[in-house]
Amino acid sequence: MRIDFNNKRIRIIVFYALSAIMLISYWLLDNSEILTDFLEKTDRVMTNWAMGFNAIIGFVKLGLITAGLTIPIILTIMIIINKKTPHNNL
């Protein structure tokens, strides 16, 4: 079975699901005890490595929260604009 991604409704649902997955991933990274323990252990062993790992995790979390919040906001604005102007092909 092949899903037709040219359908506008399916694309909107996929983007909302993607943003939900991003927000859940951010929450899991933020509340992960395994990751916290790993970062504490690397901080004790090598400070430079711990700084790098903290920076990488921070950038990943920042990207997840930013994309996870902006995708539904932009989609909702596009849906509202499209409903107000029915001849607009967004």
- pLDDT tens string 32-56: 999 888 888 887 777 777 788 888 9
Using pLDDT thresholds of 50, 70 and 90, give the confidence band for residue 90: low
6-20: b or e for each residue (b if 16 or more CB lie within 10 Å)?
A: eeeeeeeeeeeeebe
C-alpha span between 15 and 60 (Å, rounded): 19
Asked whether the predicted pLDDT for residue 87 surpasses 70, the reply is no
pLDDT in tens, 4-22: 667 888 888 999 999 999 9
C-alpha span between 51 and 57 (Å, rounded): 10
Give yes or no for a contact between 64 and 22, defined as CB atoms under 8 angstroms apart: yes
C-alpha span between 24 and 64 (Å, rounded): 9
